[in-house]
Structure 1
């Protein structure tokens, strides 16, 4: 199946979810889950919780059967230096879309850092395998841009394969795909699958770096779903506020780097 067919189906599914979410009445908070769970429920607008819990369980099973074992093999076979080069390369490919979002958010200083990092690491870092620039640029996506523009967060969603999101973040994800200059260049040259390959490799790399942290979170969670939901929102808040909120970070659990806010996400 071609990438356009996959994306078309994904967009239709996200649109349908957004429509359902917009007309859904507020769900009743869990009554017998304990005070900690009730507090986490109040933090995040989750009117589609039964559906979200279903997809959370599906993703959890897929992670146990595929992603986690592959991530463990990836970490066991490749030395840390090689894995760091993989991450550097993927980050470098993302600098153009980070730049676009920083411009749209009015942060020209960060946009300048994105441009400097991309050109420096591309030409002097062997195509981005080595982080010569050392500018430590932060991920910027259209979900964050929409938040800066004042778009409402929307309901919390758990997307198949992708994981935690919101209607705003999911819409931003689709916008990022089509706005990303790297993906555009790939489509123009008939290699549309580049976006999928990037997402899969990025997901495996991110999962390999969060195996122990995620296991620890699951072990100590009263309700793993509610904990992930709360941590996802804190993580998104941290991204939108550029680290000003300094919340606990949620290890990446999706195929999208990175593949997860209270006031803006």
Structure 2
């Protein structure tokens, strides 16, 4: 079943999401994309703060609150990331990570339609984060399902645009792309749950392991579009 859903997601990505991401990066100026990404990250700050506190990560909660306050006041409501320029680190926490810290087992691996890889613990966590999300409640109350849809569509297109080359390279180099995605998902979740800290006995420098410190939501800012996705004028300049 998971592989069948994965194939459906692959078709949806190739037909809808990837072309939308390429168009987004081609049409929307870089500065506007940065502002949109900053604002989307800003909106989920309360989720990170609450989950960091639940995990006993007071420093990460403090950092995120400081970022939220700084960018709200000085960054035009979150459009400009003043906090990073001030040296305040950005963190990401969710309720799936919180459950893992509390000792809840991940459960079976799941491939969710359109949403991608997950497990039972993370799937439940997504639901809890949606309930406790203040921005989500406000958007839903003020703008209804249309507003919620716009937010999540922007999130999806922005994330896909940030990862164009990474996903294209993985897809091209993988003998079994489904297995590669599953492995990458599990690695990244372990990395997120540990907040980048290695557990005792972890192997270091295993060939083929993904460096998640290099995978972030800003990677497309300095990354060229894949040749087949680049605008016509850029392709002509490369020839």
TM-score, L = length of structure 1: 0.72
| SS of structure 2 residue aligned to 1:53 | helix
Q: Which residue does 1:241 correspond to in 2?
A: 194
Which of 65, 70, 75 aligns to 1:120? It is: 70
Note the 1:91-102 alignment, pairs <5 A. Answer: 91-102=41-52
* 1:107 shift after superposition: 1.0
The whole-number CA distance in structure 2 between the counterparts of 1:145 and 1:194 is: 28
1:129 aligns with 2:129: no
1:66 aligns with 2:3: no
Q: Is the 1:158–1:164 Cα contact (8 Å) retained in structure 2?
A: yes
Q: Which residue does 2:55 correspond to in 1?
A: 105
Q: Give CA deviations for 1:193-226 in whole Å, capped at 9, x if unaligned.
A: 4433222101101111111111111111111000
Flag the 1:79–1:187 CA change in 2: closer, same or farther, 3 A: closer
Q: Which residue does 1:146 correspond to in 2?
A: 99
The whole-number CA distance in structure 2 between the counterparts of 1:251 and 1:117 is: 21
Q: Is the 2:110–2:117 Cα contact (8 Å) retained in structure 1?
A: yes
More helix by share: 2
- Could you list the runs of 5+ residues in structure 2 that have no partner in the other structure? 199-203, 217-239
Q: Is the 2:140–2:148 Cα contact (8 Å) retained in structure 1?
A: no
Which of 81, 87, 93 aligns to 2:37? It is: 87
Q: Which residue does 1:206 correspond to in 2?
A: 159
Q: Give CA deviations for 1:87-142 in whole Å, capped at 9, x if unaligned.
A: 10000001011000001111111111111111110111011010001123221100
Q: Which residue does 1:179 correspond to in 2?
A: 132
Q: Is the 2:71–2:77 Cα contact (8 Å) retained in structure 1?
A: yes
Q: Which residue does 2:229 correspond to in 1?
A: none
1:162 aligns with 2:82: no
Q: Which residue does 2:6 correspond to in 1?
A: 56
- Could you list the runs of 5+ residues in structure 1 that have no partner in the other structure? 1-50, 253-265
Q: Which residue does 1:226 correspond to in 2?
A: 179
Q: Which residue does 1:19 correspond to in 2?
A: none
Q: Is the 1:88–1:128 Cα contact (8 Å) retained in structure 2?
A: yes
| Number of equivalent positions | 202
Q: Is the 2:55–2:101 Cα contact (8 Å) retained in structure 1?
A: yes
The whole-number CA distance in structure 1 between the counterparts of 2:2 and 2:215 is: 19
TM-score, L = length of structure 2: 0.80
The whole-number CA distance in structure 1 between the counterparts of 2:46 and 2:38 is: 14
* 1:63 shift after superposition: 0.3
Q: CA RMSD in A?
A: 1.8
